[in-house]
Amino acid sequence: MKAKLDEASSYEILRTFRWPKWVICPHCEHTRVNTHTKSALTPRRRYLCVNCRRTFTDLTGTPFAGTNLPLRIW
């Protein structure tokens, strides 16, 4: 029987595999990144790169970017 993951667990697993040590900007590959999420209630995170000043999410640059399906479905 498969264990069902909730959305928060799905995002934590994605972050762990994508950024094992620290979050890296997908635009300039800089490591100085701030969390830029408006709500602490959502498992989704938005980040702001201190170097290039661009924002990105956990899904930016992944095959999951731009999909309407919840991450736990994937």
Residue with tokens 């890296």: 24
Q: Return the closest-CA partner of residue 28 out of 58, 46, 50.
A: 50
Cβ atoms < 10 Å from Cβ of 2: 4
**pLDDT averaged per 10 residues, the chain (length 74):** 72 93 95 87 91 94 85 76
DSSP bridge pairs for 7: none
The phi and psi torsions of 33 (rounded to 5 degrees) equal -130, 135
The pLDDT, as a whole number, for residue 1 is: 38
DSSP 34-61: EE--S-TTSS--EEEETTT--EEETTTT
Q: What is the pTM of this model?
A: 0.81
The pLDDT, as a whole number, for residue 55 is: 95
